[in-house]
Amino acid sequence: MLLEGRVALVTGASRGIGAAIARAFVAEGASVCLCARSEGVEVLAAELAGSGRTARAWRGDLADASFGKQLISAIRKEHGHLDVLVNNAGILRQGLIGMTSTDQMRELMEVNVVALMALTQYATRIMDARRSPCVVNLASIAGTQGMAGVAAYSASKAAVVGYTLASAKELAAKGIRVNAIAPGVIDTDMVRGAAGDWYERQLQSIRMGRIGTPEDVAGVAVFLASDLSRYVTGQVIGVDGGMTL
Partner 1 sequence: MNAEKLRDSFSRALGIPAGQVTDDLAYNSLKEWDSVAHMALVVELETEFDVMLDTDDILGMSTVSKAREILSRLGVDFDAA
* Contact by Cβ (8 Å): 174, 209: no
Site for partner 1 in 190-219 (CB under 8 A): none
Q: How many residues sit close enough to partner 1 to count as binding (CB under 8 A)?
A: 11
Instruction: Select the residue interacting with partner 1 from 67, 122, 153, 163 (CB under 8 A).
Output: 122
144 sits in which H/E element:
helix 141-145
What's the CA gap between 71 and 58, in Å, rounded?
Answer: 7
- What Å distances lie between residue 107 and 92, 134, 135, 156, 221, CA to CA? 10, 27, 23, 10, 26
**Does 169 help bind partner 1 (rule: CB under 8 A)?**
no
What's the CA gap between 67 and 56, in Å, rounded?
Answer: 15
Task: Return the number of the residue (74 or 96) whose C-beta is nearest partner 1.
Answer: 74
Binding mask 75-94 for partner 1 (x = CB under 8 A): -xx-----------------
Least separation in angstroms between CB 169 and partner 1: 13
Residue 163 designated active-site: no
Stretch that binds partner 1, among 67-75, 144-152, 156-164, 180-188 (CB under 8 A): 67-75
**Does 69 help bind partner 1 (rule: CB under 8 A)?**
yes
Helix/strand/coil (H/E/C) assignment for every residue in 16-53: HHHHHHHHHHHHCCCEEEEEECCCHHHHHHHHHHCCCC
Greatest Cα-to-Cα distance within the chain, rounded to the nearest angstrom: 51
* Contact by Cβ (8 Å): 141, 202: no
Instruction: Select the residue interacting with partner 1 from 51, 73, 205, 244 (CB under 8 A).
Output: 73
Give the active site residue among 122, 153, 163, 231: 153
Stretch that binds partner 1, among 23-31, 68-76, 140-148, 191-199 (CB under 8 A): 68-76
* Active-site amino acid positions: 153
Q: Interface with partner 1 by CB under 8 A: which residues? A: 65, 69, 72-73, 76-77, 118, 121-122, 125-126
